[in-house]
Amino acid sequence: MSLKKDIIIDSIPNHIAIIMDGNGRWAKKRNKSRNHGHKEGRKSVRKVVEACAELGIKNLTLFAFSTENWNRPKLEINFLMKLLLTSLNQELETLTKNNIRFKIIGNLEKLPKRLSSYLIKVTKKTQNNNKMTLTVALSYGARKEIVDAMQAIGDKVKNNLISLKNIDESVINQHLYTHYLPDVDLLIRTSGEKRISNFLLWQIAYAELYFTKKLWPDFSKEDLYEAIVNYQQRERRFGKTSKQIN
């Protein structure tokens, strides 16, 4: 029996973010190369994007490659960059057909030129789509994002475009890579690790965290439904008392 029927459509999360982890361990268990695990992980991306679109989730953000992942072996990095390019190439039509807006966050300058130009092209091509926004965090680190925002704001203060006393949370929000996104409601991490690994530190301030042991290539639509059902059973109090909420 699918858990899909247990999801209350009126209160689905507005923004789901996923740390897609465990490709390497998935492959190791099968005596395959880590790259084989990454290739397999691609299928999960497809399923999850499809499931979110079907449910009417408005924002999905996927962590694909962190600033720290640049420290991995060169061969693995090259493989991942190629995989991203071919995947995107193959999915462009699906994005368009399903009215999905594609966005990218992270330090694009560090990416191979061919990949970054293609990412920009896909972003432009899908910019008017409005069923769902799919953001891929690539060469992304939350601390770097915050540093970049601080520099941009500092620059504006210096040039008298904004005064110090007017800097508030909303100003900071507007200078983050994710300025077009609402806060994260549900953060999912696969593979059993219970850490954030420098992902969306500001945006998850009040997110519900969901950790599953499933390795990313094994993560299915049903696993996503399970996470959403679990999320919907929680009471989000935002500092208030339970009585105030109900």
- Just list the catalytic residues: 21, 69
- Which one among 59, 126, 191, 203 touches ligand IPE, defined by CB under 6 A? 191
Residue 179: left if φ>0, alpha if ψ -120 to 50, beta else—which one?
A: alpha
**Spatial separation of the C-alpha atoms in residues 37 and 27, rounded to whole Å:** 5
* Total interface residues for ligand IPE by CB under 6 A: 18
Residue number closest to ligand IPE, CB atom? 24
**Binding segment (CB under 6 A) for ligand IPE, from list 8-16, 22-30, 121-129, 145-153:** 22-30
Subset of 196-235 contacting ligand IPE (CB under 6 A): 197, 216
E strand or H helix at 92, and its extent?
Answer: helix 74-97
- Which one among 64, 111, 119, 184 touches ligand IPE, defined by CB under 6 A? 64
**Spatial separation of the C-alpha atoms in residues 210 and 53, rounded to whole Å:** 20
Residue 21 is a binding residue for Mg ion (CB under 5 A): yes
Provide the 3-class DSSP secondary structure of residue 230: helix
Selection from 62, 80, 84, 64 nearest residue 72 by Cα:
80
Tell me whether residue 12 or residue 21 sits nearer to ligand IPE (CB atom). Answer: 21
Q: Which positions touch ligand IPE (CB under 6 A)?
A: 19-25, 63-66, 69, 80, 191, 193, 195, 197, 216
